[in-house]
């Protein structure tokens, strides 16, 4: 049993799914939404490092981590509905909402469906506006969108995840998302977190996320926003910059390679990451 298991609580969605969440600290609320096939516990450094001045809450999306794993609901709009219900359950107002990777898609869907209700600030961490390539786009447009999958490639990867070699495929996929300097024990732990999400559901959700596109919504975001990317992340820096350019008044922070600038910069360099988040939420920066 870990420290976080003793803090774990549960909330039940409107369609009967129990979602696990972890909460620490008091003060202005920061809600952390993890990425595809990740879990709330991967925000361990944020839960511990920000608790002195913030109420920090990390949720396991349905099927992930310690949440229940039904055979339905693995679509971005349903995850956005879950998040909306969760914020209402805790009666949170003026939340700083942080999304990592697919967590950004969940936030964009939330805004699309419900507007900015209950949200005061956004932190968008390393997710492109569109993952699937339109064959008529120029190379420059593909880079700006961050599109890394052709339709055929998307189905091939999803089928590999759901197939007999899904665990091994996942291991190599996740390992590619860290800098060379990252300790192997950290990578192994993140892989273990990933495998808590059944591979067949992981494949379903991955496909659903790939075929979303948020290019029309992002320029309409009208909340104070911090956009974070990594120099050597699987998400192209150009795509992160495009998002920051579209949101009026947003702040942009890029972690370089030597600063842990991978897809998981919040694990590789939690000190700098937490400093940025705390300052942004408090309005210091």
- CB within 8 A of 184, min separation 6: which ones? none
The β-bridge relationship of strands 29-33 and 251-255 is unpaired
Strand partners, 263: none
pLDDT at 104: 98
The domain made up of 9-129+213-282 has a fold known as Rossmann fold (3.40.50)
Cα separation, 65 vs 195, whole angstroms: 9
Cα separation, 60 vs 32, whole angstroms: 9
pLDDT in tens, the chain (285 residues): 577 777 899 999 999 999 999 999 999 999 999 999 999 999 999 999 999 999 999 999 999 999 999 999 999 999 999 999 999 999 999 999 999 999 999 999 999 999 999 999 999 999 999 999 999 999 999 999 999 999 999 999 999 999 999 999 999 999 999 999 999 999 999 999 999 999 999 999 999 999 999 999 999 999 999 999 999 999 999 999 999 999 999 999 999 999 999 999 999 999 999 999 999 999 865
DSSP state of 130: B
Nearest to 267 by CA among 100, 131, 79, 83: 100
Cα separation, 73 vs 29, whole angstroms: 27
Strand partners, 255: 230
Q: Which helix (H) or strand (E) holds 20?
A: strand 18-24
- For residue 257, count CB atoms less than 10 angstroms from its CB and return exposed for 0-12, middle for 13-18, buried for 19 or more: middle
pLDDT at 283: 87
Q: How many residues does the chain have?
A: 285
pTM, two decimals, is: 0.97
Query: Quick check: 217 and 242 in contact, CB under 8 A?
Result: no
What ranges do the domains of the chain cover?
Answer: 9-129+213-282
Q: Which helix (H) or strand (E) holds 180?
A: none
């Amino acid at each position: 049993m870990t420290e976080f298991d003793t803090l774990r609580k549960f909330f039940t969605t409107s369609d009967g799914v129990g979602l696990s969440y972890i909460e620490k600290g008091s003060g202005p609320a920061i809600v952390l939404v993890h990425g595809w096939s990740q879990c709330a516990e991967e925000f361990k450094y944020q839960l511990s490092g920000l608790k002195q001045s913030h109420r920090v809450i990390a949720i396991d999306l349905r099927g992930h981590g310690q949440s229940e794993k039904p055979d339905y609901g693995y679509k971005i709009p349903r995850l956005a509905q879950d998040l909306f219900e969760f914020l209402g359950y805790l009666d949170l107002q003026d939340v700083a909402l942080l999304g990592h990777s697919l967590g950004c898609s969940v936030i964009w869907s939330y805004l699309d469906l419900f507007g900015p209700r209950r949200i005061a600030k956004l932190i968008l961490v390393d997710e492109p506006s569109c993952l699937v390539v339109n064959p008529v786009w120029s190379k420059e447009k593909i880079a700006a969108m961050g599109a890394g999958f052709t339709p055929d490639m998307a189905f091939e990867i999803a089928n590999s995840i759901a197939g007999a070699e899904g665990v091994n495929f996942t291991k190599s996929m996740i390992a590619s998302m860290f800098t060379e300097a990252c300790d192997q024990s950290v990578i192994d732990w993140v892989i273990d977190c990933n495998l808590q999400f059944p591979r067949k559901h992981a494949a379903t959700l991955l496909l659903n996320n790939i075929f979303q596109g948020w290019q029309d919504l992002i320029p309409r975001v009208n909340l104070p926003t911090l956009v974070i990317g990594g120099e050597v992340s699987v998400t192209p820096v150009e795509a992160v910059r495009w998002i920051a350019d579209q949101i009026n008044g947003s702040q942009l922070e890029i972690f370089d390679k030597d600063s842990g600038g991978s897809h998981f910069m919040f694990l590789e360099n939690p000190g700098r990451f937490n400093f940025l988040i705390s300052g942004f939420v408090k309005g210091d920066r």
